[in-house]
Structure 1
Amino acid sequence: MAGIDNLGQSGLSYIDQLKSLQDKNKPDETTGKQDLKQEDFLSLLTKQLSQQDPFKPVSNDQMIAQMASFATVDGIGKMNTQFENLNASMTSNQALQASTLVGRDVLVPGAAGVKQANDGMAAMVKLPQSINNLMVRVENEAGQLVRTFDVGSKPPGDSRIEWDGNDDNGNPLPAGKYKVRASGMADGENQEFPVSTYANVNSVLLGKGDGNVLLNLAGFDSPVRLAEVLEVGKA
């Protein structure tokens, strides 16, 4: 700016004051926040005007432009605060709506699921085309094959498959984590198909301030994001 370029010795004093103010308002290393406010900009503008070269003063256009810039910065700061408040409000609303899922089954990506005691397990397999003989294999947490069965012909798209919780000899298997795999002949070769499993919702979490709503699922070690849920079972 013209006024600053022609300050001479007084300009050095102004620059030193500017640096001092900047050092004072450096972001807090612990919070990452910056405390530079609009009054600080106005203080700098006043200091600039008091030390400008009287033969080459700052023009009215420059002053207006600077003041407009300060107002814009202040407005952006307020807008960011409003967006943060809106995001927090939307997250709370999502969590309130998600609380209605507690006790219900949801479909989540992944072949690993949890079998409850005296119960079976349901899964969903996505087929690219019609399959004549869809084979289902169930493995325990150690990766051992505990059950194999043929669910017959299935059309393309999502097909629900049910496992009764028994092994190949009809003996009930204990509760725990199991993995469901599905395969069949497609395009002349045996292929594995993507599988998703159902799980029961225990509770709802707000996440870590990132706007995500998380679901604690029965038997799962870590929560699942609400956005990942593919289907919600009937109440």
Structure 2
Amino acid sequence: MSLINPLSSQSPLSTQGTSGQGIAPASSSGASANSSTTTQTQTTGNPFLDGIRLPEESSIPEAKSQELTQEDFFSLLSQQLSMQDPFKPVDNDQMIAQMASFSTVDGITKLNEEIVNLNTVMTSSQALQASGLVGQKVLIPSDTGHISAEDPSLKGIISTPEAIDTITVRIEDEKGQLVKTYTVDGSAGGNIDIAWDGLDKNGEPVTSGNYSIKASGRVDGESQDLAVSTYAHVTSVSLGTASTGAILNLRGIGGIKLGDVLAVSET
């Protein structure tokens, strides 16, 4: 006679029951699988590829302004008032002084911005007005002028401190070599107009280039060099900057500030 374990007879049923109950975990596992599938739509499953994958959103925060605005000031002021000692409150005059100081600084900042904008507008307006000088000649504080086929002669002004009977004029090339010498009458004093026809001492036209006009005369019994200004042809105008203003481009010489021009001539 053999004994039968009553639990062993129930083991098939228990196994079936366990299997039956295992269906529910299977559905739960299916849900996990779906959840895993949903996650895999955002990742590849490869740690290396996921590490180098570009982020969907930029992780770099936007640059914030470092300037203290009026809202920040009042926020700090509110915090200061809320944290103050009730037995030693902040003096009203001190608080008003702080508000006035901040308003003053804010106003100065806005004024600086307006001045910069005004300088830009004035520079553009100045360049527009200076464009009317294109094609004309301007007197510049320099003794160097340009000789070319378009301008075969050179004109200028000699400034004298007093009346001088005879003024000696010397024409020199870029190397400082003497090209021609002649004299002019300076008895009228003041500004004496001079002109050079572009011919050397032999009466031959000189080559194109820059030439200097040197002048000297006897002042108080001693020979003295005199200031010379020359006329130059304006070919174009540059806008320049707010500090320099409009720039006049002169033929063969270069640029000069509009404010440095001494006079304007048609020829």
TM-score range, shorter chain: 0.7 to 0.9
1:213 equivalent among 223, 236, 246: 246
CA shift, 1:87, in A, is: 1.8
User: How far off its partner does 1:103 sit?
Assistant: 0.9
Contact 1:148 1:168 in 2 (8 A): yes
Stretch of structure 1 that moved more, 191-200 or 68-77 = 68-77
Residue 169 (str. 1) matches residue 202 (str. 2): yes
One-letter amino acid matched to 1:227: G
Residue 148 of structure 1 aligns with which residue?
181
8 Å Cα contact 2:137-2:234 kept in structure 1: yes
| Partner deviation per Cα, 1:203-228 (whole Å, 9 max, x = no partner) | 1122233252211111114x111111
Cα distance in 1 for partners of 2:68, 2:214 equals: 58
Residue by residue over 1:54-98, the C-alpha shift from the partner in whole angstroms, topping out at 9 and shown as x without a partner, is 221112222222112221111111111122222222222111111
Equivalent position of 2:97 in the other structure: 65
- Alignment partner of 1:203: what SS? strand
In 2, Cα distance between equivalents of 1:37 and 1:159: 62
Q: How does 1:20-39 map to 2 (within 5 A)?
A: 25=66, 35-39=67-71
> Could you tell me how far apart the structure 1 residues matched to 2:81 and 2:73 are?
12
1:78 aligns with 2:88: no
**Cα deviation 1:116-156 (Å, max 9, x = unaligned):** 22611011110111111111100000110001011234411
Between the aligned partners of 1:194 and 1:175, the Cα distance in structure 2 is 24
What is residue 190 of structure 1 aligned with on the other side? 223
Structure 2 contact 139–261 (Cα < 8 Å) conserved: yes
**Structure 1 residue 104 displacement after superposition:** 0.6
Q: Distance in 1 between the 2:230 and 2:244 partners?
A: 25
Q: Secondary structure at the match of 1:152?
A: strand
What one-letter code is carried by the residue in structure 2 that aligns with 1:36?
Answer: L
Q: CA RMSD in A?
A: 1.7
Find the counterpart in structure 2 of residue 45 from structure 1: 77
Q: Which residue of 1 aligns with 2:29?
A: none
Partner of 2:152: 119
**Residues paired across the two proteins, number:** 202
Percent identity at matched positions? 51
- TM-score, normalising length: structure 2: 0.71
CA contact (8 A) 1:87 1:211 kept: no
**What are the ranges of 5 or more consecutive residues in structure 1 without an aligned counterpart?**
1-23, 26-34
Question: Residue 261 of structure 2 aligns with which residue?
Answer: 229
Name the residue aligned to 1:130: 163
Correspondence for 2:21: none
Question: Distance in 2 between the 1:128 and 1:37 partners?
Answer: 60
CA contact (8 A) 2:169 2:183 kept: yes
Matched, 1:107 2:139: yes
Distance 1:80 1:171 in 2: 59
CA contact (8 A) 2:154 2:196 kept: yes
Please tell me the residue identity of whatever aligns with 1:144.
Answer: Q
Distance 1:88 1:44 in 2: 36
